[in-house]
Every structure is written in C-alpha cells, then in structure tokens.
Chains A and B, each alone.
Chain A
C-alpha cells in the first residue's frame, strides 16, 4: 500500500506533512469563515463530499491484493466514500440550483 508514500525521506516527509496540515487549516478557516449563513447547509453537504476524499485511501486499501480482510475493509470503505462523494456533490448541486437568482425577483 506504500506506492505513493515516501519512506525514503522519513523526517523530511513528516515535517512537510505537518507543514501541509497547518497551512491547510489556516486556508480552511480563512476561506470558510466568509461563507454566508444562508449557504451553511450547502457548505455542510459540500464538505461531506470533500471528506469523501478518503476514497483515495480506500482505493489504495482495496487494491492491495492478497489479503481478504484488507479487501473487505477497502471495498466497504470505497462504497461509503463514493456515496459521500457522489451523493454529496449531487445534493449540493441540487440545493445550489434552488439558490440561483430568480429572474423575476420572486414576483409574478
């Protein structure tokens, strides 16, 4: 499962992962705190979809052949994560479509 890990650069790798983590947290707070309250539900369902990124980890686990348990765990994880990704993006899109500016301003 270590196809895209970098065991050859142990310490440097850990430090750069820490750096990535910290920067991502700051960017996240900066960007998301500007999302208006009216869009908080789409924000939640959209972030559900983004948290489906664990699909990447699940794929790596499910594709690691030769071990029944990891295949079961990996495949179940792929199913759950895909539900999140597909369901999350689609339902967010459905909601945001309703939020688009109504041409008639609500009046008949």
Chain B
C-alpha cells in the first residue's frame, strides 16, 4: 500500500480516537479510559508519520522525542495539583511555539510561493507567537514570578491596536511580495515573528490574577487554532482536526468562564479589571463578628447540613486535605456535608474540583453553583474557605458594584455563614464584601489550614 494512503487512513483512525476520548470525558467514570484512548490515537498518528517518505534523517527526531518525553514525564509526575494552572499555561505556550516553529520551517523550505500556504503560515506564526509569549506571562503571573496585578499604562490599548494592525500590514506585505526576492520577504517574516511575540506579552500583562481562568482558556483555544493553521500550511488533516478540537474546547471554556463572571471577553481582555474600579455606592451596616475555633466547633457540631465553599485561598493555604478531614468528622457526627463550587473559583476552570478530588472528596459531594443556590436557604452552616468575590452579595444587591450581576453562591441566605479569612483585606477585585457584616456571618480569622486544624482539634477534644 502506498505510504500516503496508509498515513491518511491511520490519521482518520487517530481522529476518531481523539473524538471518542473527548466524548468519554463527559463522565468521571469513563474519563480515564477516554484519556488512554486519546493517547493511543496520538501514538498511532506519530508512528505512522515516522514512516513517511520525506524523512531522511531520524537522529534529530529521536533525540527530540527522548528529551521531550523525559521532561514531560518528569513534570507530569512532580507537579503539585495546586500548580496545575501554571502547568496548563506553560503547556499552552509549548503548543504555540511548536506551531510557530513548524510554520517557520515550512516557510524556510518553501520553493514555490503560493498564496494559500503563505497565508496559513502567517496565521500559524502569528497565533503561535502570541500564544507562546502570552502563556509565558500567564505562567509567570500564576506562579507569582511576576505580580498578579494588572499592569496598565497610558495608551496601552492604542499601542496594542497599532502593533496588531502593523502585524496585519506586515502579513499583507508578505503576501504581496511573493515574487519579490527571498531576502526582502524573509526580513518581513522575521519581523512578524517578533511582533507576534511582543503582542502576546502586551495582551496578557493588563489582565489580573482572578481573570486567569478566562485567559488560560483563551490561550488554550489559541494553541489549538495555531496548530490548525500549521496543519493547513503543511496540508495535514490530523493537525487540522486535532487543532479544531482543541480550539473548540478552549472557546467553550472561555465562554463558560466569562458567563460565570458576567463579563464579556472584550471586557476581560481590555478592561484591566481591578485597576479601574470606582468605589461602589455600597452601604455597609452591621459590624464584623469574629468567632473562635471553639465557637465554630459548637456551631458546626449542632448543624445538620454543612456546605463548604472553597476558593483560591484554599489552594494557597493547601488546605484541601485538612478540609476533607473536617468533612469526614462532620459526617460521622451526622451532618450532611457538601462542597459548593463556583465556576471561576481558583485560577483555572475546574481548579477546585481537582484539588478536592486530590484530597479524596467523592465527586458526588461536589455541587455546582446553580444547584446549591436552589437549596441554600435550608443549609444550616456555610463555611467559606478562601473565597471572596464569588460569595459577595454586592453582585446581587448593589448596582454600583463592579461585580454587580455576576452569579454568586448565595451563602448569605444560609442560616449561618462562617468565613475563614486571613484578615479584613478585600479580595482580588478590591471590593468590600458586605457578607462579612451580615447578621448571620461569623469571621474566623487566620490561615485557612490552621483554622481548619484548630476546629478539628476541638472536635477531637470532645
């Protein structure tokens, strides 16, 4: 059988396996098998590509695959679950740079210039470059190597817009100068690479830490789209299919995240949220009522239903294991224990779910926002641990608030709310949270993990 035919038949099989793999990801029971099926598809696609006739030298490929496998396997094993957002950000970036390099290599050996190939190479390089440098900035912010605060300066939008238009003009020049001699077009091409990298950095620095779920979803999508463009450039169907799947997945997640924050994608990308806030006309009445671990124990001990609401603070304090221990104690004590997860809690989609799964919390105890809100009034105690803006009643009550309209977990409607918090400092968005002043709210100050430990030791004492 001819190699071209064989390769493409195997690509079809690989594409089917990818799609089945993703389909099995719709249920936790089948998800792991789905991941394996998808990996088999990948293996098939890679092996059959190695057979292709154009390859005359295997030593560099082998070296690259060995090096990449070692690094990949090592990082997958050692990464802590709290560091998943950084890792995904970094992997998005790797996807981008691969597409950029593949596009570049294709351009470099192109002998007969044609419009379609050049256009798709341009797209692969542009999107790949933006994805790469943007993901590195996102990675730095998530790993706190650089400040998570939005970095804003005067004329930022104008500069970004100008650079973007400049890149498009350079792309147009590239296409119009197809016959105009090699070196001239090549200089433009290198210019496009540099511009795309600068654009990626500028696009992500104005975005703050709490908006990272949107950004890494979007970069995830870009890495797929870049792969797709590279696939069109080298006319490879499996790249097109897989790239489109990843692109679609990223766009869906971006959409979910934006909805959960009641903001449009343009607002997230250009808003510089958290930096431009005007003080809302929120009236705060009531006073903060601190509570000791001992009193918290009495409240929890008497509760017949308890809902934990985790946020990014739980990840920072690494409190998920201790929290699960407390949950177990409460269940033994006869309370019904559930965990309510806001879609944007944490720094990436599903962040809290992974941390709680790591701590062995069964997934049927995890409840989504809409479901918990229906029954929240009958809940005896809500324990907010490291979450702030996602439980801020200002989103419902105060029209002047920057988060007004954002769907929240209505913990204030539960009979009692206990908020575990370091201090009275406002959350990421810098908005005061009138939940802390409500009649039914008690504040347990201190590090989330030590506070939970203190409550556990109260239980053990008795």
Known A-B contacts A28-B245, A78-B60, A97-B32; the reply to A20 vs B237 at CB < 8 A is yes
Which B residues touch A53, using CB under 8 A? 42, 45, 227, 238-239, 242-243
Inter-chain CA distance A20–B87, complex, in Å, is 31
Task: Tell me whether B55 and A45 are in contact (CB under 8 A).
Answer: no
In the bound complex, CA of A27 to CA of B15 (Å)? 11
Chain B 101-113: CB-based contact to A (< 8 A → 1; otherwise 0): 1101110110000
Q: With A38-B350, A54-B95, A108-B332 in contact, is A73–B60 under 8 Å at CB? A: no
Shortest beta-carbon distance from A16 to chain B in Å? 8
Q: Which residue from A35, A46, A83, A102 sits with its C-beta under 8 Å from B26?
A: A35
Q: Considering residues A46, A57, A60, A87, which has the most beta carbons from chain B within 10 angstroms of its beta carbon? A: A57
The A53-71 residues at the B interface (CB cut-off 8 A) are: 53-65, 67, 69-71
Q: Is B461 an interface residue (CB 8 A)?
A: no
By a CB distance below 8 angstroms, the chain B residues around A61 are 101-102, 105-106
For residue B72, which residues in chain A have a CB less than 8 angstroms away from its CB? 82-88, 90
Asked whether B144 is an interface residue with its Cβ less than 8 Å from the other chain, the reply is: no
The answer to whether the Cβ of B232 comes within 8 Å of any Cβ in the partner chain is yes
**Could you tell me the distance in whole angstroms from the C-beta of B101 to the nearest C-beta in chain A?**
4
A37 and B256 within 8 A (CB): yes
Chain A residues with Cβ below 8 Å from B402 are none
B19 pairs with A31, CB closer than 8 A: yes
| Nearest 10 Cβ contacts at the A-B interface | A82-B68, A28-B248, A78-B64, A3-B54, A63-B55, A40-B350, A86-B72, A87-B72, A40-B349, A90-B76
B143 interfacial by beta-carbon distance below 8 Å:
no
A98 engages B357 (CB within 8 Å):
yes
Interface size bracket, B side: 35 or more
With a cutoff of 8 Å between Cβ atoms, the chain B residues found around residue A108 in the complex are: 328, 332
Once the chains bind, are A63 and B95 in contact (CB under 8 Å)? no
- Which of A3, A50, A82 is close to B69, meaning CB atoms less than 8 Å apart? A82
When the two chains form their complex, are residues B102 and A58 in contact, meaning their CB atoms are under 8 A apart?
yes
Does A49 contact B38, Cβ atoms closer than 8 Å? yes
Cβ-Cβ contact count across A and B, 8 Å cutoff: 395
Separation of A60 and B3 alpha carbons in the complex (Å): 14
A4 in contact with B54 given A28-B247, A82-B65, A105-B362 (CB within 8 Å): yes
Q: Check if B240 sits within 8 Å of A17, measured CB to CB.
A: yes
Checking A5, A41, A46, A81 against B354 with a beta-carbon cut-off of 8 angstroms, the contacting residue is A41
B374 CB-CB contact with A under 8 Å: no
B444 to chain A, nearest CB (A): 24
Q: What are the residues of chain B within 8 A of A93 when measuring CB–CB? A: 32, 35-36
A71 touches B60 (CB 8 A): yes
Q: How far in angstroms is the closest Cβ of chain B from A3?
A: 3
Distance in Å: Cβ of B283 to nearest Cβ of chain A = 34
Q: Which of A5, A28, A29, A39 contacts B31 (CB 8 A)?
A: A39
The distance from the CB of A57 to the nearest CB of chain B, in whole angstroms, is 4
Q: Considering the chains assembled together, what is the distance between the CA atoms of A107 and B332 in angstroms?
A: 8
Q: Write the B17-43 contact mask toward A (1 if CB under 8 angstroms, else 0).
A: 011011101111101100110110010
By CB atoms of chain A within 10 A, which of B57, B63, B245, B349 has the most? B245
8 Å CB interface, B209-234 against A: 216-217, 220, 223-224, 227-228, 230-232, 234
Residue of B nearest to A108 (CB): B328
The closest CB in chain A to the CB of B111 belongs to: A2
